[in-house]
Chain A
Amino acid sequence: MTTSRRKFIKISALGLGGVAATTSAINVFGANSYLDDLVKQKVSKEFKRTATYCEVCFWKCAAWTYTNEEGEIKKIIGNEDDTHCEGRLCPRGTGGVGMYTDQDRLKTPLIRTTVNGEETFKEASWEEALDLIASKFKTVIDSHGPESIALIKHGSPGSHLEHLYKAFGSDTIAEPAYAQCRGPRETGFKSTFGSWVGSPEPTDIRDTKCLVLIGSHIGENMHNSQVQEMSDAIDNGATIITVDPRLSTAASKSKHWLAIKPATDIALMLSWMNVLIEEGLYDKAYVEKYGLGFDELKEHVKQFTPEWAYGITTIKPEEIRKTARVMAHAAPSVIIHPGRHVVWYGDDTQRARAMAILNGLLGSWGRRGGFYFKEKISVPKFPQPKYHHPKWGWKEIGEKYPLAEMGITSEVLRAAIPSDDNKYPVKALMVAGTNITKSIPDRKLLEEALEALDFVVVIDTMPMDVTGFADVVLPECTYLERFDGIRSATNRHPSIAVRVPAVPPKYDSKPAWWMAKQIGERLGVGEYFNYDDFKEVIEWQLKEMGTSLEEMEKIGVKNYPRKSGPMYLNEDEIYQFPTVSGKIEFYSQELKNLGFDPIPKYTAHPEPPQGFYRLNYGRAPMHTFSRTANNPNLNDLMDENKLWVNPKVARILRLKTNQEVWLKNQDDVTSTFSIKVRVTERVRWDSVYMVHGFGHDNKKLSNTYGKGINDTQLISKVAVDPIMGGTGMRGNFVTILTENPHKNTEI
């Protein structure tokens, strides 16, 4: 495309009006509800249920979609045999109905075009859109090779497109779930215990005596089985210790809330290690049997007394000692939870390592009430030709970061910007199932990359902001309308779940597997798509696994017994950890060899200048990132984020609850929209807080456009983790503006 590159198009676009008039499923509500109740009692017997697993977040809980005789989706209920949900979905899963009924869904393929000098989208047929994608991809393949076509993806659609990419010879693939989320903890735990934490985390919360949450806010993040198990742990009288500058929901359930000064967690953990070792509270037998480098660790943490940590963390020495003793008392049934979104300050792998080391000292890895040994069942690969070996891919693009184990989205974007030393030129990009304007920080980098790219395709169910940067937009149908790959869960025991369409795709939307196949055939790699319907793939796989689609449609979830042995270490078991040394590495020779600290150190991070506050962000239980903000059911529960401000700050700045303010960060980035203030004691005076995922730019998202602030917009400063390339995002500072800075400009 040669037009002035990528002027953001707000999908109000040409010719969409006609399609928008399609009958709304929202009109099913109404009439006389009591009479309805009577009718429903009859009708409900005739509700049909269809097996699925949820796609509103990555937990992928198995569920039943209930449809009435008219084929309308009435409700979604958790599958009782599923270990991810135990029959209880979270609000997002229950509200998954809204993903289907949302009237703002993408309804037809769109192609960027110019009319009277204005860039806009025109509705297109699938043929037209897919032909264009294939021809643009071929041009890049011919001139630069298949490697120059990148994929940034998330979730189920991502896996179908990953197959397409590998089929045509590109491994230039990345997802925000790594470098913008849990990457550092995987590296930190792997360098200590030899294996990733993985998802779902094998935390034995159900049986724990002490759960330690460091900035992890279970209950606001609705990682379903963990929330359920935390509740069980409360019933069982477990002690919860929460380290958080904000009174999170979890902090409010905690016996000990350590209201830490932001960015000082490593100092606290070093002093905990100091207490455990100096007071002889660590698990000596476990450390001796399984540990390596304990003497170096002991020497290292000698100086990091609670008194030392007090000045840094603002946590009182006696509180540090008391909590360390509580953990030791509960050990080995204690969990220093690895957290999930852990890209904070750029030394995140080291912070994750500090957590891992604490778990090692307390002997909780492989112990009941600590971390169990998880198990999954592998799904046989559908017979297809072997993938090509690309000349380069995500690994080479991220080669600066020696322990990166997945693609780094920000490096893939950087590779799209031409420069003399760019050996890995990315020329075209497909974005599937992730709104990268909100999931990847540093908007300048993103815009520069999008400007430089020859061709951009976006696949989504909704007109998310990122669609405005696309040359072609493909409307995906929702998870309730399609088959997808078998969910094989890693848990206390293996299980599989299937996703079967409850209703046909609405509008002119299609499943991602179909798009992948269509593009693949046009690119001449049809042999990788040797099926007419993805259903055939699942049918074959299930048969290989000793079951059938017919059976799975009836049960939804199948549980398998463990085969890998016990969930926990036996007394005196000789066990080889999958590290280089076979031991739990308190001292990491690998990190040392790469020039990194072999044992974590505390580094002071920048602090907010006068008049600025650290921008902290987090989750709300009824939303998943930015993808649910427009969902009518979930938007109804929370339709905007608010700026949490401590009353002391509010007094100085004369702010009142519900007053509209704008934010400006340290780099003079000003928020596009305003946000309402929430004056609350729940945050510290040195930081402000908001829920991530609001402040949508696209007017076509009619429920959520312009409501609240997009925190990612204000994250222009990124502290990159030198070990694995994670993008630390908690070092941005904002000042609060009470006057509209855009008064004289049009947004």
Chain B
Amino acid sequence: MRYAMVIDTLKCVGCSDCVVACQTENDVPIGYCRDWITETVSGTYPNLDLELKSERCNHCDNAPCVRCCPTGASHIVDGGIVLVTPEECIGCGACIESCPYDARYQHPDGYVDKCTFCHHRLEKGQLPACVSVCPTKCMYFGDLDNPNSEVSQLLKNRKYKTLAPEAGTDPHVFYLT
């Protein structure tokens, strides 16, 4: 089992529904977020390209946040999901500095928080909140170890990229382009 998320940038309209769905699902305090939208414009008018995409923790196989965590609060669980155990977290922020995706934030309650791939939903057989709510259905989630899963098939048949590949983190959020 290796969980992965695949996001189709050709369909994403950058509406931020994923952001607010995560906020209500995970009680993320107002003013913070576990996922967010980026917009990239290239070219000059009227020969332009616009890419919109939803970003979050990449649940890396080679996760710098886990390596640098002094207490072991940041750890990897089955399926490759990177989690933080709040009661073991001392809020030192080393992981925030180490993350090439800027995916972590200091929760006002004193620990570091980030995307969990909605681990609590997966256990109940539900998709992550962001995936389940997306009006463009541009987000896919599943098991990369299963060659027949939707995510495996998409990565087999479509062009894709990952973010900050130069960081060597082996990320598990993929963007179809």
Name the one of A41, A91, A250, A252 contacting B20, with C-beta atoms under 8 angstroms.
A91
**If the complex has contacts A91-B17, A621-B13, are A682 and B50 also in contact, measured as CB distance less than 8 A?**
yes
- Chain B min CB distance to A640 (Å): 15
Contacts of A249 in B (CB 8 A): 13-14, 50, 52
A574-621 at interface with B (beta carbon < 8 Å): 621
Name the one of B10, B50, B123, B135 contacting A234, with C-beta atoms under 8 angstroms.
B10
B83's closest neighbor in chain A, by CB? A34
Interface membership of B165, Cβ < 8 A: no
Contacts of B46 in A (CB 8 A): 247, 257, 259
Contacts of B16 in A (CB 8 A): 91, 621-622, 637-638
Mark interface residues in B21-55 (1 if CB within 8 Å of A CB, else 0). 10111111111010000000101111011111000
Contacts of A235 in B (CB 8 A): 11
Interface membership of B15, Cβ < 8 A: yes
A632's closest neighbor in chain B, by CB? B30
Contacts of A26 in B (CB 8 A): 30
A40–B25 CA distance with the chains assembled, in angstroms:
10
How many of chain A's residues touch chain B, expressed as a range? 35 or more
Mark interface residues in B127-141 (1 if CB within 8 Å of A CB, else 0). 000001111111000
B129's closest neighbor in chain A, by CB? A75
A580–B109 CA distance with the chains assembled, in angstroms:
69
Cβ of A31 and Cβ of B109 under 8 Å apart? yes
- Chain A min CB distance to B37 (Å): 8
Cβ of B45 and Cβ of A228 under 8 Å apart? no
Interface membership of A343, Cβ < 8 A: no
Interface membership of A300, Cβ < 8 A: no
Interface membership of B85, Cβ < 8 A: yes
Cβ of B45 and Cβ of A681 under 8 Å apart? yes
Cβ of B50 and Cβ of A75 under 8 Å apart? no
B51's closest neighbor in chain A, by CB? A252
Contacts of B166 in A (CB 8 A): none
Contacts of A219 in B (CB 8 A): 13-15, 136
A35–B136 CA distance with the chains assembled, in angstroms:
32
Cβ of B41 and Cβ of A97 under 8 Å apart? no
Mark interface residues in A10-40 (1 if CB within 8 Å of B CB, else 0). 0000000000000000101111111111001
Cβ of A29 and Cβ of B10 under 8 Å apart? no
**If the complex has contacts A228-B136, A633-B30, are A94 and B119 also in contact, measured as CB distance less than 8 A?**
no
Contacts of B107 in A (CB 8 A): 33
How many of chain B's residues touch chain A, expressed as a range? 35 or more
Contacts of A250 in B (CB 8 A): 13
Contacts of A30 in B (CB 8 A): 27, 29, 108-109
Interface membership of A437, Cβ < 8 A: no
A685–B21 CA distance with the chains assembled, in angstroms:
37
**Which residue, A94, A647, A680, A681, has most C-beta atoms of chain B within 10 A?**
A94
Cβ of A34 and Cβ of B49 under 8 Å apart? no
**If the complex has contacts A91-B16, A682-B50, are A228 and B11 also in contact, measured as CB distance less than 8 A?**
no
A394–B122 CA distance with the chains assembled, in angstroms:
55
- Chain B min CB distance to A258 (Å): 9
**If the complex has contacts A30-B108, A259-B45, A646-B45, are A227 and B13 also in contact, measured as CB distance less than 8 A?**
yes
Contacts of A97 in B (CB 8 A): 24
A253–B17 CA distance with the chains assembled, in angstroms:
19
Cβ of A227 and Cβ of B135 under 8 Å apart? yes
A634–B21 CA distance with the chains assembled, in angstroms:
11
Interface membership of A78, Cβ < 8 A: yes
Interface membership of B19, Cβ < 8 A: yes
Cβ of A227 and Cβ of B41 under 8 Å apart? no
- Chain B min CB distance to A101 (Å): 9
Interface membership of B120, Cβ < 8 A: yes
Contacts of B33 in A (CB 8 A): 636
Interface membership of A432, Cβ < 8 A: no
Cβ of B123 and Cβ of A41 under 8 Å apart? yes
A31–B116 CA distance with the chains assembled, in angstroms:
17
Interface membership of A388, Cβ < 8 A: no
A633's closest neighbor in chain B, by CB? B20
**If the complex has contacts A621-B13, A621-B14, are A88 and B134 also in contact, measured as CB distance less than 8 A?**
yes
A44–B83 CA distance with the chains assembled, in angstroms:
20
Interface membership of A89, Cβ < 8 A: yes
A674–B43 CA distance with the chains assembled, in angstroms:
29
Interface membership of A461, Cβ < 8 A: no
Cβ of B109 and Cβ of A32 under 8 Å apart? yes
Cβ of A89 and Cβ of B41 under 8 Å apart? no
Contacts of A222 in B (CB 8 A): 15, 135
**If the complex has contacts A30-B108, A34-B84, A249-B13, are A633 and B27 also in contact, measured as CB distance less than 8 A?**
no
Cβ of A34 and Cβ of B85 under 8 Å apart? yes
A106–B41 CA distance with the chains assembled, in angstroms:
41
A250–B111 CA distance with the chains assembled, in angstroms:
40
**If the complex has contacts A97-B24, A636-B30, are A41 and B15 also in contact, measured as CB distance less than 8 A?**
no
A234–B10 CA distance with the chains assembled, in angstroms:
8
Contacts of B133 in A (CB 8 A): 77-78, 88-89, 94
A189-232 at interface with B (beta carbon < 8 Å): 219-220, 222, 224, 227-228, 230-232
A581–B1 CA distance with the chains assembled, in angstroms:
65
Cβ of A35 and Cβ of B87 under 8 Å apart? yes
Cβ of A37 and Cβ of B15 under 8 Å apart? no
Interface membership of A74, Cβ < 8 A: yes
**If the complex has contacts A33-B107, A94-B17, are A40 and B120 also in contact, measured as CB distance less than 8 A?**
yes
Cβ of A91 and Cβ of B41 under 8 Å apart? no
Interface membership of A684, Cβ < 8 A: yes
B92-145 at interface with A (beta carbon < 8 Å): 107-109, 111, 113, 116, 119-120, 123-124, 132-138
Contacts of B48 in A (CB 8 A): 247, 252, 257, 681-682
Interface membership of B80, Cβ < 8 A: no
- Chain A min CB distance to B147 (Å): 22
A75–B50 CA distance with the chains assembled, in angstroms:
32
Contacts of B120 in A (CB 8 A): 37, 40-41, 44
Interface membership of A330, Cβ < 8 A: no
Interface membership of A320, Cβ < 8 A: no
A637–B28 CA distance with the chains assembled, in angstroms:
13
Contacts of B27 in A (CB 8 A): 28-30, 33, 36
Contacts of A708 in B (CB 8 A): none
Chain A residues engaging chain B, CB cutoff 8 angstroms:
26, 28-37, 40-41, 44, 74-78, 85, 87-91, 94-95, 97, 219-220, 222, 224, 227-228, 230-232, 234-235, 247, 249-253, 257, 259, 621-622, 632-634, 636-638, 646-647, 680-685
Instruction: Give 15 CB contacts A-B under 8 Å.
Output: A29-B29, A34-B83, A35-B86, A87-B132, A91-B16, A91-B17, A91-B19, A94-B20, A227-B15, A230-B136, A234-B11, A252-B51, A621-B14, A633-B24, A682-B50
User: Given contacts A34-B87, A87-B132, could you give 9 more A-B pairs where the C-beta distance is less than 8 Å?
Assistant: A29-B30, A75-B24, A88-B135, A219-B136, A231-B137, A235-B11, A257-B48, A633-B24, A637-B19
Chain B residues engaging chain A, CB cutoff 8 angstroms:
10-11, 13-17, 19-21, 23-31, 33, 41, 43-46, 48-52, 83-87, 107-109, 111, 113, 116, 119-120, 123-124, 132-138
Nearest 10 pairs of A and B residues by beta carbon:
A219-B13, A252-B50, A621-B15, A259-B46, A231-B136, A91-B17, A75-B24, A95-B20, A34-B86, A637-B16
